[in-house]
């Protein structure tokens, strides 16, 4: 997870830090919620019968399988981001002034 934060964090300037943090914060919150729902469902499916050890064991097996699956998926991700000259391209402002500003605040 730290590698993901570092890769995304390097793509933004200090003035854009909030913009870069938003997808990471949302992804972390949603991913954590989904993880709790999945592992809790697997655990409590067996725990209702009073068998906590088997529920815990099955939840760990599901977690290990998901870990291996997501590890395999990481090799499909691109190795490098956009070229440096394309990192902070700002489109031209509209003639009526409704477009973005041409310069970034440092």
Reported as a single tens digit per residue, the pLDDT across 67-79 is: 999 899 988 877 7
Q: Residue 10 falls within a domain, yes or no?
A: no
Residue 26 half-sphere exposure, CB side, CA atoms within 13 Å?
A: 6
Q: Contact 56/64 with Cβ under 8 angstroms?
A: no
Q: Is residue 93 part of a domain?
A: no
pLDDT (0 to 100) of residue 28 = 85
Q: Is residue 2 part of a domain?
A: no
Domain assignment of residue 34, yes or no: yes
- Domain for residue 103, yes or no? no
Q: Calculate the alpha carbon distances from 8 to 14, 27, 72, 104 in Å.
A: 13, 13, 20, 19
* Residue 43 belongs to domain spanning: 29-75
pLDDT in tens, 25-61: 888 899 899 999 999 999 998 887 788 888 899 999 9
7 lies in some domain: no
- DSSP assigned state of 93: P
Q: How many domains does the chain have?
A: 1
């Amino acid at each position: 997870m730290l590698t993901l934060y570092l890769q995304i964090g390097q793509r933004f300037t200090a003035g854009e830090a909030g913009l870069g943090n938003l997808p990471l914060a949302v992804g972390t919150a949603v991913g954590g919620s989904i993880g709790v729902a999945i592992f809790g469902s697997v655990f409590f499916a067996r725990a209702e019968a009073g068998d906590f050890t088997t529920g815990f064991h099955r939840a760990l097996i599901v977690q290990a399988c998901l870990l291996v699956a997501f590890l395999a998926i990481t090799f499909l991700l691109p190795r490098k981001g956009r070229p440096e000259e394309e990192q902070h391209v700002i489109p031209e402002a509209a003639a009526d002034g409704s477009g973005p500003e041409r310069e970034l605040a440092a």
